[in-house]
Amino acid sequence: MTKVIIADDHQMVARGLESMLNESGKYQVLENTHNGRELLESRQLVKAELILIDYKMPILNGADTLEKLKDKSKPKLVFISANVDEWLVNKVKTLGADGIICKSVDSQKLVALLDKIMDGEKVFPSDNEIFNSLYQPLKKKYKLTEAETNTIKQLNQGLGIKEIADKNCVTTETIKTHKKNAFVKLGIKKVTLLAQFIKRL
């Protein structure tokens, strides 16, 4: 069985992951740690073949933890997160992670994704998967139109008004209108606050 360590400050989430992995018969959770420092100090670290790391943790966050882990051990390093957007996917790719998995996946999909990673594949969600998991709930909760939702998505990807207009074959004024209406519904005033707003969902 593949030996696993979980680093997540949310105990209910960590226990749920532990239960799913242990019950699969393919994975054995050696330890649940609550932050990056605990993980780095774990005596089980040398035995681990796979480490699941929450991106947002107190004391030492997931990004800083991964940087230190790369110097200490050679297990597969996978981020877990409640919300996965384009920014986060690009960030963890840059850090050299083997994948990122949304915490809401069911046990069957979790094991299937981890199996791929252990076989040497990199596992990151597609644009369509990100849209369905992140922007569709946003659309429903705040009653955004399809056009407003797409504008929010592309703004969050770092595109400017003209780039979005050209990509969607509409005028810049149309995109400005979608942006204005969406921001009113979301209760934000600046593009710089958009990523922070989405991460808090």
* Domains of the chain by residue range: 2-118, 127-199
User: What is the mean pLDDT of the segment spanning 38-52?
Assistant: 92
The residue with tokens 């420092």 is 37
pLDDT at 71: 63
DSSP-assigned beta bridge partners for residue 2: 27
Per-residue pLDDT band for 96 (boundaries 50, 70, 90) equals confident
- The CATH architecture to which 2-118 belongs is 3-Layer(aba) Sandwich (3.40)
CB 156 within 8 A of CB 85: yes
User: Tokens for 151?
Assistant: 């504008």
- DSSP, res 84: -
Burial class (CB in 10 A: 0-12, 13-18, 19+), 107: middle
* % residues pLDDT > 90 (the chain): 47
Of 71 and 32, the one with more pLDDT: 32
According to the per-residue pLDDT averaged within each range, which of 10-14, 19-23, 164-168 is highest?
A: 19-23
Of 27 and 56, the one with more pLDDT: 27
- For 113-131, how does the pLDDT look when each residue is reduced to its tens digit (9 = 90+)? 999 999 999 999 887 777 7
Pick the CATH number of 127-199 from 3.50.50.60, 1.10.10.10, 1.10.10.2840, 3.40.50.80: 1.10.10.10
pLDDT at 57: 86
Tell me the residue ranges of DSSP E strands in 40-158.
50-54, 76-81, 99-102
Per-residue pLDDT band for 92 (boundaries 50, 70, 90) equals confident
Backbone angles phi, psi at 173, to 5 degrees: -65, -35
CA distances to 62, 140, 150 from 7, rounded to whole Å, are 9, 32, 34
Residue 83 scores a pLDDT above 80: no
Q: Average pLDDT, whole number, for the chain?
A: 88
pLDDT at 120: 93
